[in-house]
Amino acid sequence: MSDTLQQYRTLHSTAVDAPAETVYRIVADVTTWPQYFAPNVHVEHLEQTAGSERIRIWATANGEVKSWVSRRELDAENLKVTFRQEVSQAPVASMGGTWLVTPVDEGHSLLELHHDFTAVDDLPENVAWINAALDRNSESELAGIRQIAELGAELDELVFSFDDTVHVAGAGADVFDFLNRADLWPERLPHVAALDLQEDVPGVQVMAMDTSTADGSVHTTKSIRVVFGEDRIVYKQIAVPALMTAHTGRWTIVPVEGGVDVTSRHTVTLKPSAIERILGEGKTVADARAYVHRALSTNSTTTLKHAAAFAEARRG
């Protein structure tokens, strides 16, 4: 941390109607954050031991996609997680902080999120930008943790994952090209009515897509995609259909005998308050799971089959 830059400190907190140990487990498991918290897009573990981890995070801040590397120290006994960014992105010069969970009684707790930071060149506009991002993201993350902790066992029904896999008798590079060039999907995929793709930073794509459904309606989703090499693309929808509160996923390409296996994985969090409004009176979480699974699987399988045909045609 530079001695020439002023250090600023912030504190955000929330009361949670859940046991402190439950809240701490959510804070400690950073890999689930993209599913639960709006600003978080993706997390990759770079190193991991029992009480320490080094991670790369992709997240939105004031409408921009930022990425940084952090080291986190996990103290389960004291219900505390400390973190420090190793590599920050402008206008942040340095940043660290602490998550602290304090038991209030057996079923209630207080969650605090402390930050300290310095700003590039200590410019007032940079300090203001960081404060605004911290206010927005911290409040969002605290609200997300509170909501998840208070759902308890109900969360297991609302969050579910599934895979669709297609074997391709072609080159993985060609499959990757098809999946990566989503800007061409309106020409290549029957269910994609329109698509706008922006890639200001190589490997980080912001995508707005209009999808046609079986009943003839069109819904718009917006996603952030992170591209890894030529065998994996992960994404998070930041504008989701009304039945969901979150949707993350990934495309993976695995070499096998005779070609590659290509898998689309979806992880969805349902919005229970929307189920009867959208699907009809008396419809349940199980109905919503089946409906969403069928809709997403239909589209991803269509994409996989077209990617397979594209790659196999190139192979000749």
Domains defined for the chain, CATH in brackets: 8-155 (3.30.530.20), 169-315 (3.30.530.20)
Residue 204 tokens, joined: 């980080």
What's the pLDDT at 124? 97
pTM: 0.90
Question: How far, in Å, CA of 31 to CA of 19, rounded?
Answer: 21
What pLDDT digit, counting tens, does each position of 9-33 carry? 999 999 999 999 999 999 999 999 9
Mean pLDDT of the chain: 95
What pLDDT digit, counting tens, does each position of 35-85 carry? 998 889 999 999 999 899 999 999 999 889 999 999 999 999 999 999 999
Question: How far, in Å, CA of 301 to CA of 316, rounded?
Answer: 22
Confidence of residue 213 (pLDDT cuts 50, 70, 90): confident
Residue 134 tokens, joined: 């911290």
What's the pLDDT at 3? 60
Q: Determine what percent of the chain is predicted with pLDDT higher than 90.
A: 89
Confidence of residue 297 (pLDDT cuts 50, 70, 90): very high
DSSP 313: H
